[in-house]
Structure 1
Amino acid sequence: MASPNHPPAAATDAVLVKSVEMPKEAQKVEELDFNKFKGRPITAEDLYNGMKHMGFQATSVGEAIRIINDMRAWRDPETGEKTTIFLGYTSNMISSGLRGIFRWLVEHKHVSAIVSTAGGIEEDFIKCLGDTYLSSFSANGADLRKKGLNRIGNLVVPNDNYCAFEDWVVPILDKMLEEQEASKGTENEINWTPSKVIHRLGKEINDARSVYYWAYKNDIPVFCPALTDGSLGDMLYFHTFKTSPQQLKIDIVEDIRRINTMAVRAKRAGMIILGGGVIKHHIANACLMRNGAESAVYINTAQEFDGSDAGARPEEAISWGKIKLDGDHVKVYVEATTCFPLIVANTFAKDA
């Protein structure tokens, strides 16, 4: 019988379980102390160093920074070649202010190739023709529709911007079709692909605010396997009625060969993927052709319990051979506009 002056032994044994001794290399949780910065401005590097051992997603952000810096620093010992870095992002990222960061990365040749969705292509050009505005996630859809405003999360895009896009892009499609037809049967027969279309549009926009203007200038390929899934698809659809029976042909097979060949020939491959869906799988599947990328950073809020590729963690990609067995990887469960500026500030822009 337990003594009235002592707790039950079973309770004591359950609560006061003896711990094993922690290994010497175990990392202690660290706290961000703003007192350390008294008298001077706080830098992005200060925040990174203060957050990387904080725990939870702060530590995941710190891991992303470490992995990307490793991608940047690596050189092939024989040839001096750098890591081939594939950057992927969904269309909403271009609609947001992250577009400026993507543009800067491409302008300064920090990435080797881009994969995006149709919206991630057209919204870049549309922003050169008209502005996107802040709104609210709870803005009434019916009211916006009556006003000709299209909502993307808590942003709105006036529908006039898409009309301006049509006025700009259709004459270019006309010219591309003319060049395609004129080249038939010649040695230089034109075979348009999504990446060639984007390259051409980047040239035609001739606007330094555009991501794809800089991709054109720096000859960085931009892949979009779902090019028709957006306003560009609408324009291509309308264009078929205008030009019938002639039709612009866009070959996706040449592009899959091109991106897969880039991955196969890479001395080392790194993936930085913001969001999920087709952009995430397209990059990962290209890296499968080389038995996996050496480095991978996923940034998205999708969960894995539904079996979707969008929510799949890096360990699942390892099982498919999309990341190497000993590959360095992290998934950051944070909405990308919240963390990617801090990540870039501590990686690519650190020495800017």
Structure 2
Amino acid sequence: MTDAPINDTRKAELLSTVVEHIDITSFDARPIIDAMGKMSFTSRDLARATRIYNDMLADPDCTVFLVIAGSTSAGGCMDAYAELLRNNMVDAVVATGATIVDMDFFEGLGHKHYQALEVPDDDTLRSLYIDRIYDTYIDEEQLQDCDFTINKIANALPPGPYSSRAFIREMGKYLAEHGKKENSLVKLAYEHDVPIFCPAFVDSSAGFGLVKHQVDCMKAGRPYMMIDAVADFRELTDIKIKAGTSGLLMIGGGVPKNFIQDTVVCAEILGHEDVEVHKYAVQITVADVRDGACSSSTLQEAASWGKVNTGIEQMVFAEAGSVLPLLASDAYHRGHWKTRAKRAWGKLFA
């Protein structure tokens, strides 16, 4: 931390308006989605994507993977994701470390994200220890509490390798015992045996806490715990093999998108030649398809790799925070989740 004193009054002014997460149960988006289905452009794409997600939930054989990249959790969609998990509308989660640690676990500890009602220069924000995500603020001092809590959890575990799923389960257990927010995805996942995978786990606030854990243990001559990224891939592929039919609800792209799609190829390499490609797939993204990046690669392109069914997929090129609440609210109110069998894939690794 900088030695210069922080202007607490100015900091309080900038961190005065909390981001309020949208409640998808408080409004019924079905009439809007139905109307959008009669339109064109992104509106019709969203309506079709919503129908596909409802088809996933209505298919008794389908395991639904929620795949998240980007900052929608910080921007107001955090409770929407939690509600999907709470109501058995997703069976496993693959996400960035930032989504799970810096955003959800962070708020689970009682901290908040704030609306940036004004954006002074970022050097000023740095002097006040305020981190910025576009027009959203985070108190860096609170984020460091997240780092140290991760370190505390790591220090309490027996040394050895852990998949990100196994460690995130320990985070959920911690929140169940000490957390300050009921609607935490990490906490609810622990309580409902829904596994969460972060294939780039240390690329987040968790990385700082885990590095400190290893360095302190090395200095003391003690063994330490570590994140086993290969175990992540193996465990997630194991779920795909046992699940059979599967569907993807993808927000953003990046590593989580590629990671969940690659389970099909990995299963084949392990000798499961009869593994199904992901039957259903929806992706909401603003990434541009022209640069060849994974975040923007179309689901049709993924079919060429043997990962996704070409028939039941939909790309939605839109900022997810503006359309995900409509999709999620529609699916919640159509109610297919009420008769879904609970997968509880987390018990696979008990």
More moved, 308-317 vs 248-257: 248-257
State how far apart, in whole Å, the 2-side matches of 1:121 and 1:258 are. 18
1:108 to 83, 87, 98: 87
Residues 334 and 116 (structure 1), Cα distance of their counterparts in 2 relative to 1, 3 Å cut: same
Distance, in Å, in 2 between the alignment partners of 1:89 and 1:136 is 26
Provide TM-score, normalisation by structure 1.
0.79
Aligned AA for 1:345? S
The answer to whether the Cα contact below 8 Å between 2:30 and 2:330 also exists between their aligned partners in 1 is yes
Unpaired runs of 5+ residues, structure 1, are: 1-41, 76-81, 181-189
Residue among 199, 220, 239 paired with 1:262:
239
CA contact (8 A) 1:269 1:287 kept: no
Aligned to 2:143: 162
- Alpha-carbon displacement from aligned partner over 1:43-68 (angstroms, at most 9, x marks no partner): 52211111112100000000011111
Q: Which residue of 2 aligns with 1:233?
A: 207
CA–CA distance in 1 between the matches of 2:333 and 2:118? 31
- RMSD of Structure 2 on Structure 1 (CA): 1.8
Structure 2 residues not aligned, in runs of 5+? 1-26, 268-274, 339-350
Query: Following the alignment from structure 2 to structure 1, what is the Cα–Cα distance between the partners of residues 202 and 148?
Result: 18
Q: Distance in 2 between matches of 1:137 and 1:112?
A: 39
Contact 2:299/2:315 (<8 A) preserved? yes
Residue 299 (1) aligns with residue 279 (2): no
Mapped pair 1:125 → 2:105: yes
**1:242 maps to what in 2?**
216
Shift, 1:191, TM fit: 4.0
* Shift, 1:291, TM fit: 4.6
Mapping of residues 19-58 of structure 1, within 5 Å: 43-58=28-43
Letter in 1 for 2:227: I
Letter in 1 for 2:195: P
Q: Which residue of 2 aligns with 1:339?
A: 323
Question: Residue 174 of structure 2 corresponds to which residue in structure 1?
Answer: 204
Match of 1:216 among 190, 194, 204: 190
Aligned CA distance change for structure 1 residues 272 and 228 (closer, same or farther; 3 Å): same
Q: Which one of the candidate residues 314, 318, 322 is aligned to 1:330? A: 314
Partner of 2:12: none
Contact residue 63 and residue 330 of structure 1 kept, 8 A: yes
Deviation at 1:91, TM superposition (A): 4.6
Name the CA distance, whole Å, in 2 between partners of 1:305 and 1:191: 39
Q: Which has the larger radius of gyration?
A: 1
Partner of residue 18, structure 1: none
1:194 to 154, 164, 174: 164
How far 1:265 moved relative to its partner?
A: 2.2
The DSSP-based 3-state class of the residue aligned with 1:151 is strand
2:48 to 43, 63, 73: 63
- Matched with 2:252 is 275
Structure holding more helix per residue: 2
C-alpha distance in 2, partners of 1:166/1:51? 43
* TM-superposition CA deviations, 1:189-227 (whole Å, max 9, x none): x64211000001001012422111110011111011101
Question: Does the Cα contact within 8 Å between 1:57 and 1:333 map onto a contact in 2?
Answer: yes
User: Residues of 2 paired with 1:53 and 1:332: CA distance?
Assistant: 16
SS at match of 2:162: coil
CA distance in 1, matches of 2:163, 2:138: 28
Counterpart in the other structure of 1:97: 76
The equivalences for 1:165-180 within 5 A come to: 165-176=146-157, 179-180=158-159
Q: Alignment identity in percent?
A: 26
